[in-house]
Structure 1
Amino acid sequence: MDQKYINLFDTYTHGGMNRRDFLDRLKALAGAAAVTPILAQLENNYAHADTVAADDPRLVTKEVQILPDIYGLLAMPKDAKGKLGAVMVIHENRGLNPHIQDIVRRVALEGFVVFGTDYLSLIGRTPQNEDKAREMIGTLKPEDVLAMSMDVRLALSEHEASNGKVGAVGFCWGGGAVNALAVADPDLNAGVAYYGMQVPAADVPKIKAPLLLQNGGLDERVNAGIKDFEAALKAGGKTYELYVYEGANHAFNNDTNPARYNKEAADLAWGRTIGWFKKYLA
């Protein structure tokens, strides 16, 4: 697909324009007849979300209220022996959708207690309409998001199946939330940020958790902040690894999005993610 369509969609999905303006600009770029087939490639298709089935017999999976007013999806191996490391999964700006729920189950199959938080819990929970979800996320206050992350991190550390160590993985909006949590919470044991916005360099000295940073080479919007962030991490002697997957777009991990999914990059990044958690949460 032409990169200009993907870039336009990225601008739209991150609040740069409303849907009507996006469709008008797409029509102007591609022609009216091409809009529908292009949208079929650009927009998520959750019919392909269940890499791990919701009722997979290897897992115990259930929607739970982990704390007052905080809902989400909890998953863990059914036949786990001993305590397990715990992982928070932080969604994109579309909320706790089927793709992110599948990510929760995928991580759980690797031997972790996993909770996918619905950050829209306080204002009605994730709706099916993605535009509505993005609008709702735009109303969240950063301090409330951070407080929810810290509360969930603590709750997972105290979960009966947890060994007390907690990591966090986030995608896009959630990747930025992982970076912010690493600054604010010295008890976070590991973080993995997929194409997430960076924190200010001045905040980097507060980071204690080892960070794995995974970015798409074509993601100019997010990548603009990499240089300063990495310089601050190096200067502070922080434990981190940074990977930029050449030829991959923002959201390259999302296998429900035909235009932006990059299987080679996603598979490599996934292996690194699981390896990171197995190293620091054991």
Structure 2
Amino acid sequence: MANESRPCPCDIGDRFDYGGRGQEIQIEHIKAYVCKPPASTGKAVIVIHDIFGWQLPNTRYMTDMLAANGYVAICPDFFVGQEAWKPSNDWATFDEWRKTRNASKIDKEVDVTLKYLSEQCGAKKTGAIGFCWGGAAVHHLMLKNPHLKAGVSLYGVIKFFEDSYSLLHPTFFIFGEKDDIIPLEQVTLLEQKLKENCKVDHEVKIYPGQTHGFVHRKREDINPQDKPFIEEGRKDMINWLNKYL
């Protein structure tokens, strides 16, 4: 169970040994990792990283996966040069660290990224996906940003957005059944509140036996029992984007 000494279980799983097929670029005041599909489709996805930042190989792996499915995929540095969290850091300092990196304070960076995607990549429809910290950021964007068309929030911390359910765009929420930081009662309440308040298409899905970070923090071969759910989560993410972008 997550506690004061270990308030986030984001270190569950593996740091992939993966270099990436895209490239690092500079867009105005932020750096970003971008990977493009072989042919332009006019569709793009902004990938929002977890606490381990924009250079985490796992997140680049997912970014490249989106590009392989026909999207210009871009993962900006939403910490804007501030250091990402390191597994070796003292977890007792985590809450103070997180206060300086607010998942609701990314609008300027998103606007810069949307401008780049439109002007430099020919994007006509753009969505957003995010993991953990980034999942909470997607929730924020789906409430606020009129220019995005769809979102997928993967194990975004629900408590950051209590009483925020009037989504502007179709949003898919992915959770693991065994996620210590996001209790199932919070997920159930989210689903209930969305049904009562949300007028756009949405879905909340719980994946049996899965822990925090399972879609991007576990290799497919980490455990034969996990493999179907890891693959299902990734497929669901792609299918949602395909449906609305």
Common fold, TM-score beyond 0.5? Answer: yes
Residue 255 in 1 paired to residue 214 in 2?
no
Deviations 1:243-269 (A, max 9, x none): 10111111111125958x932111011
Aligned to 1:219: 179
Deviates more, 1:180-189 or 1:109-118: 180-189
Structure showing the higher helix proportion among its residues: 1
Q: Normalising by structure 2, what TM-score? A: 0.82
Letter in 2 for 1:273: M
Aligned to 1:241: 203
Aligned to 2:76: 117
Aligned to 2:47: 89
Aligned to 2:118: 158
Residue 130 in 1 paired to residue 81 in 2?
no
Structure of higher CA gyration radius: 1
Whole-Å Cα distance in 2 between the matches of residues 10 and 194 of structure 1? 23
Aligned to 1:98: 57
Q: Report SS of the residue matched to 1:114.
A: strand
Whole-Å Cα distance in 2 between the matches of residues 133 and 88 of structure 1? 30
Match of 1:54 among 1, 17, 20: 20
Whether the 8 Å CA contact 1:91–1:171 is kept in 2: the answer is yes
Q: Report SS of the residue matched to 2:214.
A: coil
Deviations 1:22-65 (A, max 9, x none): xxxxxxxxxxxxxxxxxxxx75543x343xx524xxxxx21011
> Cα RMSD (Å) of the superposition?
3.0
CA deviation after TM superposition for structure 1 residue 98, in Å? 1.2
Whole-Å Cα distance in 2 between the matches of residues 43 and 158 of structure 1? 36
Match of 2:6 among 12, 15, 32: 12
C-alpha change, 1:133 and 1:93, in structure 2 (3 Å) is: farther
Aligned to 1:171: 131
Whole-Å Cα distance in 2 between the matches of residues 159 and 251 of structure 1? 33
Match of 1:194 among 113, 135, 154: 154
C-alpha change, 1:158 and 1:131, in structure 2 (3 Å) is: farther
Whole-Å Cα distance in 1 between the matches of residues 20 and 101 of structure 2? 31
Whole-Å Cα distance in 1 between the matches of residues 70 and 90 of structure 2? 30
C-alpha change, 1:144 and 1:98, in structure 2 (3 Å) is: same
The sequence identity of aligned pairs, in percent, is 24
Aligned to 2:193: 232
CA deviation after TM superposition for structure 1 residue 85, in Å? 0.8
Q: Report SS of the residue matched to 1:163.
A: coil
C-alpha change, 1:133 and 1:104, in structure 2 (3 Å) is: farther
Deviations 1:153-183 (A, max 9, x none): 5325524323321111111111111101111
Residue 204 in 1 paired to residue 165 in 2?
yes
Whole-Å Cα distance in 1 between the matches of residues 104 and 200 of structure 2? 27
CA deviation after TM superposition for structure 1 residue 140, in Å? 2.3
Q: Normalising by structure 1, what TM-score? A: 0.72
Aligned to 1:58: none
Whether the 8 Å CA contact 2:47–2:76 is kept in 1: the answer is yes
Q: Which runs of 5+ in 1 are unaligned?
A: 1-6, 16-41, 56-60
Whether the 8 Å CA contact 1:149–1:181 is kept in 2: the answer is no
Deviations 1:221-278 (A, max 9, x none): 313322332222212333101110111111111125958x932111011111111111
Aligned to 2:239: 275
Q: How many residues align?
A: 234
Whole-Å Cα distance in 1 between the matches of residues 105 and 90 of structure 2? 15
Q: Which runs of 5+ in 2 are unaligned?
A: none
Whether the 8 Å CA contact 1:150–1:185 is kept in 2: the answer is no
